[in-house]
Amino acid sequence: MQQKRICRGIEKIHLGYYPTPLTRLENISRETGINFYIKRDDLCGLVFGGNKVRKLEYLLAHAKAHGFDTILTAGGAQSNHAVLTAACCRKLGLDVLLLLKKRGVTETRGNLLLAQLMNIPVRFIDTDRYADVYAEAETIMEAMRAEGKHPWLIPVGGSIPLGALGYLDAAEEIAAQAEEAGFSIHHIVCCSGSGGTHAGLILGTKKLGARVTGIVVSVEEDFQAEIYNLALETAKLAGIETDLVLDDVVLKAYIGPGYAQPSEEGAAAIRFMAEKEGIFLDPVYTGKTFAGFLDLFSKGYFAPGENVVFVHTGGGPALFAL
C-alpha cells in the first residue's frame, strides 16, 4: 500500500525517496572558485532516478483518485520520462502503455532495455511529430474504453501544472537544505526540456531571490512564455500568490547538433564531472546542461564565491544507448 498525503490540498503519492541529497562538490568548487552544489534527483530511488518521479507523485495520485486504471504516455525512443512512468505504474499496480517515436531505434539498449526488463508494452510510432503520437494515443484510448478500461494520457514530460508541483516541492526542499547547511542560494541551473522542472523551480525559489537558469537541450523555438504560463498555472493550482514576471524565465540554449544527439561540449562536460567527482551525467540532458554551466562560467555569468545549485535530473540510461 503506497503512502498518500495531501500537499497544498492536492493528493500526492509516495514514489521516490526524498529529500535527495544536496551536496557541495569540492573539486569543482575548487576549480571554478564558486561554491558548486549538486541536487541529486538522480538518486530518487526508482530506475536510475530522475526528475520525473516528483511529477509522477502528483500525476499518478490523480490517476488513482479518479479511477484511471491504465496510463499512456509518450516520448522519444529513449525517453526517461516514459520509463520512469512505467516503473511508477508497476509499483502502483496500474497498467501502462508507452508510445515512443520510432525514428532512430535500432537496438534494445538504455531505457528500451529497462522497459523490456519491466515487461512494459511499447508501441513505436513512425513520426517526428507529437501531434501524430497524440492522435494515435486517442485512437488507442478509444479502443481501450470500448473494452471497459479507464485510460489516462500523461503528456510528454508530465509538464502540466499538476506535474510541475513536484518541482515546487523540490524548490522548497532545496531551500530548506540550504538553510540547514547555512548558505543562501544565488543561482540554480537546471535542464529545461518540457519545462515542468524549470517552471516549478522558478515558482518555488522566487522568494529566495535565487536566479534560475534553464538550459535548453531540445527545442529551437523560444518557449519562455510557455514556461512562464506553466508556472502561473501551477501557482494557481497550488493556491499560492506569486509575483513572477516573464523575465524570471531565463533560458540558454546548448542543443548542439540536435535533440538527443550528443554534443562535443556535452561529452567533455560528462567526462569532467566523472573525472572530478565520480558522478555521471547523461548525453541528452544533464551533460549538455553542465556544458552550458561551464560555458556560462567561462563567460563570467557566475561571480566568484557565489553559491550555485546544479540540479541533476537523471538520464543515466542514455549513457548506454547513444
Q: What is the smallest separation between the CB atom of 25 and ligand PLP, expressed in angstroms?
A: 18
Interface pick for ligand PLP out of 50, 155, 256, 262 (rule CB under 6 A): 50
Within 112-171, the residues that bind ligand PLP by CB under 6 A are 157, 159
Minimum separation from the CB atom of position 221 to ligand PLP (A) = 15
Nearer to ligand PLP, 191 or 296 (CB): 191
42 vs 61, beta carbon nearer ligand PLP: 42
- Under rule CB under 6 A, residue 80 binds ligand PLP: yes
How far is residue 112 CA from its own chain's centroid?
A: 18
Question: Which positions from 166 through 195 interact with ligand PLP, judged by CB under 6 A?
Answer: 191-195
Judged by DSSP in three states, 285 sits in: coil
Question: Least distance to ligand PLP from the beta carbon of 157, Å?
Answer: 3
Question: Binding mask 285-304 vs ligand PLP (x if CB under 6 A, - otherwise)?
Answer: xx------------------
Q: In this structure, how many other beta carbons lie within 10 angstroms of the beta carbon of residue 31?
A: 14
Position 312 contacts ligand PLP (CB under 6 A): no
Structure-block grid coordinates of residue 264: 562535443
Q: Is 79 a catalytic residue?
A: yes
Strand pairing of 35-40 and 22-24?
antiparallel
Q: Check residue 85 for interaction with ligand PLP (CB under 6 A).
A: no
Catalytic annotation, pick one of 79, 192, 194, 263: 79
The SS3 of residue 34 is coil
In 3D, which of 84, 53, 35, 13 has the Cα closest to residue 309? 35
* Residue 117 burial by Cβ neighbours in a 10 Å radius (0-12, 13-18, 19+): exposed
Residue 93 CA to residue 173 CA, distance in Å, equals 28
Nearest distance in Å: CB 222, ligand PLP: 15
Cα 63 to the chain's mean position, in Å?
Answer: 19
Q: Which of these, 74, 79, 28, 26, lies nearest to 51 by C-alpha position?
A: 79
CA dist., res. 208 & res. 196, Å (int): 19
Q: How many residues bind ligand PLP (CB under 6 A)?
A: 19
Chain contacts with ligand PLP (rule: CB under 6 A): 50-51, 80-81, 157, 159, 191-198, 285-286, 313-315
